[in-house]
Structure 1
Amino acid sequence: MELIPRNPTQGVYPATEDYVHAVEVRGAQRLLFISGTMGLDPSGRPGETLEDQLVLIWDNLHAILASADMTVDNIVRLTSYLRDASYAEANAAARVAALGGRVVPTTAIVAQTLSDDWLVEIEAIATA
């Protein structure tokens, strides 16, 4: 499988250093669509802080990816749903750290979650 970043510099606004406009995937045989994943521990309780929830989200994503014999290196698209716009910086930092600096197409949306205790929800697409 080959991942080719598509980040044009003309005709579109510039991407920031923590994402690319698009990734072309060649030779993939499997796609994994991951539901919105929250910062809940294995018993279903949310982390107490935003940072706790971001750690739990990425732990949960690791487990879901592993169930398909994948890792974060297989992620090709992320969407984050934030309860508050002020969470954007922490969310981006957690994403960059979790992906080891690898950039993927990403979108962050401010939205009301189903529970006030859920501060961030992240959905992903992975391929292998």
Structure 2
Amino acid sequence: MEFVPHNPTEGVYAATDDYVHAMEVRGAGRLLFVAGTMGLDPAGKPGAGLEEQLELIWSNIRVILASADMTVDNIVRLTSYLREPAYAEANAAARTAALGGRRVPTTAIVATTLDNDWLVEVEVTAAG
């Protein structure tokens, strides 16, 4: 399987250093669509604050990916749902760290979550 980033520099606004405009996946045999994942511990309790919830989100995503014999290296697309715009920087930093600096197409949306204690929700698409 091969990932080919497409990040045109003319005719479209520039992507920032933490994402690419598009990712072509060649030779993938499987796609995994992961539901929005919250910063909840195994008992369903939300982390105490933004940083803890981001840590739990990425831990949960790793467990879900592992159940399909995948890792964060298989992620090809990501959407974040943020309760507050102020969470964008911390969310981007957590994503960049979790992906080891690898850039993928991303979208961040400010939305009201179903529970006031859920600060961020992340959904991913992975290919293998």
TM-score by length of 1: 1.00
Consecutive unaligned residues in structure 1, runs of 5 or more: none
1-side partners of 2:77 and 2:62: how far apart? 15
Structure 1 stretches of 4+ moved >2 Å = none
Alignment partner of 1:77: what SS? strand
1-side partners of 2:53 and 2:6: how far apart? 31
Structure 2 match to 1:94: 94
Shift of 1:105: 0.1
TM-score by length of 2: 1.00
Structure 1 match to 2:81: 81
Identity within the alignment, %: 74
Structure 1 match to 2:30: 30
2-side partners of 1:6 and 1:108: how far apart? 19
Structure 1 match to 2:118: 118
Structure 1 match to 2:9: 9
1-side partners of 2:48 and 2:114: how far apart? 17
2-side partners of 1:110 and 1:18: how far apart? 18
Shift of 1:39: 0.1
Shift of 1:67: 0.1
Matched AA of 1:62? R
Alpha-carbon RMSD: 0.2
Consecutive unaligned residues in structure 2, runs of 5 or more: none
Shift of 1:26: 0.4
Paired residues in the alignment total 128
